[in-house]
Amino acid sequence: MQIKSVAVLGAGAVGSYVIWGLSSRKDIRLAVIAEGPRAERLKQQGITINGTTYRPQVWTPQEANGVDLLVVALKYGALPGALDSIAAAVGSNTTVMSLMNGVDSEEIIAAKIGAEHVLPSFIKVASHKEADGYHFNPETTIGIIYGELAAPLKSERVQAVEALLAGTGIRSRVTPYIKEEIWSKFRLNVCNNLPQAILGAGVGCYQSSAHMKAISDGLCHELEAIAVAKGIDLSKVDASSRHGSLVPPATRYSTLQDLDAGRHTEIDMFSGALMRMGQELGIPTPYNEYTYHMIKALEEKNDGLFDYAAKASDLACANKRARGKA
């Protein structure tokens, strides 16, 4: 089995890492799946990564049909609306790797296309967007971790992905404990990504503040209790999976990046998912419940819900116009 064609669905912070690495492979067809204005923009402007502009092909989901490897690198909230596109791209021999955050994206995708197509995987890359495109440090990036849920662990498709990534600059590792490793990354996201988003400070806050460390620990303890109840042994994971990529203390992870940009976050996939699992298992999740509602409120703040001064001004203008007509 050889991978000769790759399509990336979601050419953002995560997808850009894949595009950056695989663009060096001149012996494969590499494309981004996009439609409408986004497709036109990508065709005209390409995608700028670490100061270099790359111009992968741009395919519709239908044009991607039968691609050897489909990499799904969407934001969690975009997944439900993208399932038809994923199904359109998947052929009988397509392998799908989801590099999305959380612990259930693969189950959602598998329910649409069949679990036999999905190769469990995740990514650790501290990528962010600036005015001139996406940036990450290739030297400190941990990269893509993947593996089969059951034997044979060195399956044909695992070997094919290994061969595809070799020599590209993309860091990767095959693991026999992919489910536990995905949960280990989930733990990092919940414990390190979320508290800093509420505070609005760089990741160094966990070293600088005992209060921030206490919040992070509280979130971790709840997640670990749920993992134990679900039979997930986090002690099995590789030592490198217990921490993220090395980053400076000012680094702002994805949830805070979303809030900074006025976007809605992936909190439903983080604390929202843990709240649901906690309810099912009878495990209290007070830290996650508070964090969930605080970040939802910050989204509402970005949406203008609490902009009372502007609302008062609009009301005053409306009253003035009404008096003028009287």
If one counts the domains in the chain, the total is 2
| Among 290, 285, 204, 298, CA closest to 255 | 298
Measured distance CA(255)–CA(197) in Å, rounded? 6
Both 12 and 104 in one domain: the answer is yes
Q: Model-level pTM greater than 0.95?
A: no
Tell me whether the omega of the peptide bond preceding residue 152 falls within 30 degrees of 0, making it cis.
yes
CATH of the domain at 53: 3.40.50.720
Does residue 324 belong to any structural domain of this protein?
Answer: no
36 residue type, one letter: G
Measured distance CA(284)–CA(225) in Å, rounded? 9
Confidence of residue 126 (pLDDT cuts 50, 70, 90): confident
pLDDT in tens, 179-203: 999 999 999 999 999 999 999 999 9
Both 238 and 134 in one domain: the answer is no
Measured distance CA(116)–CA(219) in Å, rounded? 34
User: How confident is the model at residue 244, as a pLDDT?
Assistant: 65
**Structure tokens of 37?**
């204005």
Does residue 27 belong to any structural domain of this protein?
Answer: yes
User: How confident is the model at residue 326, as a pLDDT?
Assistant: 59
User: How confident is the model at residue 266, as a pLDDT?
Assistant: 93
Strands, E assignment, 50-105:
52-54, 57-59, 69-72, 95-98
Both 171 and 189 in one domain: the answer is no
Both 17 and 131 in one domain: the answer is yes
Q: Phi and psi for 130 in degrees, rounded to 5?
A: -120, -175
Confidence of residue 247 (pLDDT cuts 50, 70, 90): confident
**Residue numbers of the domain that contains 50:** 5-176
Both 138 and 210 in one domain: the answer is no
**Structure tokens of 309?**
């001064």
- For residue 57, what are the β-bridge partners? 31
Name residues whose C-beta falls within 8 Å of residue 325's C-beta, 6 or more positions apart in sequence.
none
Confidence of residue 325 (pLDDT cuts 50, 70, 90): low
Task: Out of 151, 176, 201, pick the residue that ends a domain.
Answer: 176
For 37, the 3-state DSSP assignment is: helix
Both 98 and 240 in one domain: the answer is no
Measured distance CA(263)–CA(244) in Å, rounded? 23
